[in-house]
């Protein structure tokens, strides 16, 4: 039989392990140390050990532009740099980690901001690649949807976006929204259909580069044609969520069958097989090639051409400028979209969408192709530079100045969307170029050689310069 002293000793040992303070040497010498250490580890002790691992022996190579004056702010292409560092001129220091090198390589202006950045503006960037696919997305491998709204960009209060894909023959089921829905087809083709409050019907086939708009409350459907389709949806409410869409399947499943029977003058049995859950995106019977086969009309007729819900923007030639091209669609030519104005901007390598701001609207931007960066300036002194890739959303508040620079080796293409009845902006270059030279000289201290070259007209997109080319090498 074990003695009382034996059990007492075990009990004390257990208490010492959990609540007490085993001696420092006992912790080091035990086979399996306890979860908690000794109180001896607090503060100074002659036994304290310092790491002999040096954080000063990091191997890295700086890009030439990192040795410039930080206020030059040349773009730093870290994508092929093994160990990019947060250094510009005499600013910053090496970073031994831990860190995510993938993020650092594609967000060089976050790792090593230009010396002109100051403070922190709103977060003007959201990659759709970080938006999870919606619950119950694309049954039968029919598609998917990812969204951006105030949940992920709290300051993007005026607009929200959805990137959606439908495989050939798949439907975005019959539905309507409280918000207005503006769309740009990114690739492929689809058939859109709607009925408005007057009973007027609408149907059209749209393809890559075309746009559509459905006003709030107008029910509609979308079906991918044989090539499948991907489209971008922009809503006039930053809080918009796909989860709050009014779906035909849900309207039917949440009304008593006796009420449905009375409403449609049908037997209750007609509703035995209606879906119990939403369909959202689902495979369907392929649309007939001849659109006339689906051209249903009512006594009210069809939607007047002047109020068409689609605009074949793909067929509009782009306006060419020195650094790329611009083309605009707004209520001037697409009247039904009463508060949506948009531009597709293409910027050649080294070029830049000139510094500008929009006096009456926030700007919601989607990057379609290429690499870019932009500096958002917020009065009086705050500026943050962001890096963008295809699939990213940018957001620039009303009257906050910004540019969008092509930082890649291919054409940059992006969409600018405004909440206004006409696409407008104020260009910094035109403002300064159209101001008396004496005022400009007294204010900005520009030399006469620079004043004589200022332009009085908007450039929209400016071409790359020798400065840009040198900085990127």
Higher model confidence: residue 10 or residue 25? 25
Per-residue model confidence as pLDDT tens digits over 427-439: 999 999 999 999 9
pLDDT, position 31: 83
Residue 347, SS3? strand
The two tokens of residue 87 are 């250094």
By residue count, the chain amounts to 473
Per-residue model confidence as pLDDT tens digits over 345-363: 999 999 999 999 999 999 9
- Residue 9 in this model has a pLDDT that exceeds 80: no
- Annotated catalytic residue 410: no
| Cα–Cα nearest to 171, from 224, 248, 212, 213 | 224
Distance CA 67, CA 268 (A): 78
Higher model confidence: residue 390 or residue 53? 390
- Please compute, for residue 99, the number of CA atoms within 13 A of its CA located in the half-sphere on the CB side: 16
Distance CA 357, CA 426 (A): 5
Higher model confidence: residue 223 or residue 465? 223
pLDDT, position 138: 73
Per-residue model confidence as pLDDT tens digits over 169-211: 999 999 999 999 999 999 999 999 999 999 999 999 999 999 9
Annotated binding residues for Mn(2+), as ranges? 175, 177, 181, 220, 356, 358, 363, 402
- Residue 151 in this model has a pLDDT that exceeds 60: yes
Determine what percent of the chain is predicted with pLDDT higher than 90: 85
- Residue 21 in this model has a pLDDT that exceeds 50: no
Torsion of CA 442, 446, 450, 454, to 10 degrees: -50
pLDDT, position 444: 97
pLDDT, position 30: 58
Domain 131-311 belongs to what architecture? Sandwich (2.60)
Tell me the pTM: 0.89
Residue range(s) occupied by CATH 2.60.120.10 in the chain? 131-311, 319-469
pLDDT, position 29: 56
pLDDT, average across residues 1-13 = 42
Cα separations (Å) of 54 from 58, 96, 160? 9, 10, 47
| Cα–Cα nearest to 353, from 418, 427, 420, 453 | 427
Query: Residue 105 in contact with residue 99, Cβ under 8 Å?
Result: no
Per-residue model confidence as pLDDT tens digits over 81-112: 999 999 999 999 999 999 999 999 999 999 99
Topology classification of domain 319-469: Jelly Rolls (2.60.120)
- Residue 233 in this model has a pLDDT that exceeds 90: yes
pLDDT, position 307: 97
pLDDT, average across residues 444-464 = 96
Q: Residues 6 or more apart from 238 whose CB is under 8 A from it?
A: 149, 150, 153, 156, 157, 158, 159, 160
Distance CA 186, CA 122 (A): 28
Q: Residues 6 or more apart from 456 whose CB is under 8 A from it?
A: 430, 433, 434
Query: Average per-residue pLDDT in the chain?
Result: 92
* Catalytic annotation, pick one of 200, 416, 448, 457: 416
- Residue 263 in this model has a pLDDT that exceeds 90: yes
pLDDT, position 136: 67
| Cα–Cα nearest to 104, from 112, 114, 96 | 112
Question: How do the residues of the chain divide into helix, strand and coil, expressed in percent and rounded to 5?
Answer: 20, 30, 50
pLDDT, position 274: 96
| Cα–Cα nearest to 113, from 55, 56, 154, 72 | 72
- Residue 17 in this model has a pLDDT that exceeds 90: no
- Residue 426 in this model has a pLDDT that exceeds 80: yes
Annotated binding residues, as ranges? 175, 177, 181, 220, 356, 358, 363, 402
pLDDT, average across residues 221-241 = 97
Beta bridge partners of 246: 176
């Amino acid at each position: 039989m074990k003695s009382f002293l034996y059990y007492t000793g075990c009990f004390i040992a257990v208490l010492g392990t959990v609540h007490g303070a085993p001696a420092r040497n006992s912790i080091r010498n035990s086979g399996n140390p306890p979860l908690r250490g000794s109180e001896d580890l607090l503060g100074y002790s002659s036994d304290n050990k310092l790491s002999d691992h040096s954080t000063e022996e990091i191997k890295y190579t700086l890009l030439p532009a990192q040795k410039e004056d930080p206020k030059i702010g040349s773009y730093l292409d870290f994508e092929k740099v093994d160990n990019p560092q947060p250094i510009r001129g005499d600013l910053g220091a090496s970073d031994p980690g831990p860190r995510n090198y993938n993020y650092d390589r594609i967000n060089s202006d976050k790792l090593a901001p230009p010396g002109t950045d100051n403070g922190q503006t709103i977060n003007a960037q959201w990659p759709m690649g970080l938006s999870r696919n919606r619950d119950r997305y694309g049954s039968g491998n029919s598609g998917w949807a990812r969204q951006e709204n105030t949940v992920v960009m709290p300051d993007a209060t005026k607009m929200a976006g959805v990137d959606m894909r439908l495989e050939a023959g798949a439907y975005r089921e019959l539905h309507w929204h409280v918000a207005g829905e503006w769309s740009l087809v990114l690739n492929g083709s689809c058939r859109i259909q709607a009925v408005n409050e007057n009973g007027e019907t609408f149907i059209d086939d749209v393809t890559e580069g075309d746009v559509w708009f459905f006003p709030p409350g107008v029910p509609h459907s979308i079906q991918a044609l044989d090539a499948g389709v991907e489209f971008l949806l922009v809503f006039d409410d930053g809080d918009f969520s796909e989860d709050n869409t009014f779906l035909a399947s849900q309207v039917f499943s949440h009304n008593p069958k006796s009420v449905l029977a009375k409403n449609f003058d049908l037997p209750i049995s007609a509703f035995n097989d209606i879906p119990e859950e939403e369909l959202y995106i689902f495979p369907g019977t392929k649309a007939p090639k001849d659109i006339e086969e689906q051209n249903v009309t009512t006594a009210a007729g069809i939607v007047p051409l002047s109020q068409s819900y689609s605009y074949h923007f793909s067929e509009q030639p782009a306006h060419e400028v020195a650094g790329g091209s611009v083309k605009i669609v707004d209520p001037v030519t697409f009247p039904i979209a009463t508060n949506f104005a948009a531009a597709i901007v293409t910027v050649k390598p080294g070029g830049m969408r000139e510094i500008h701001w929009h006096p009456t609207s926030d700007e919601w931007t989607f990057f379609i192709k290429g690499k870019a960066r932009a500096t958002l300036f917020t009065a009086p002194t705050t500026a943050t530079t962001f890096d963008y890739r295809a699939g990213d959303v940018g957001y620039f508040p009303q009257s906050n100045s910004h540019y969008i620079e092509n930082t890649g080796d291919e054409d940059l293409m992006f969409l600018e969307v405004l909440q206004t009845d006409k696409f407008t902006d104020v260009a910094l270059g035109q403002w300064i170029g159209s101001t008396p030279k004496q005022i400009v000289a007294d204010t900005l201290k520009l030399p006469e050689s620079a004043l004589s070259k200022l332009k009085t007209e908007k450039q929209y997109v400016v071409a790359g310069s020798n400065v840009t080319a040198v900085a990127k090498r």
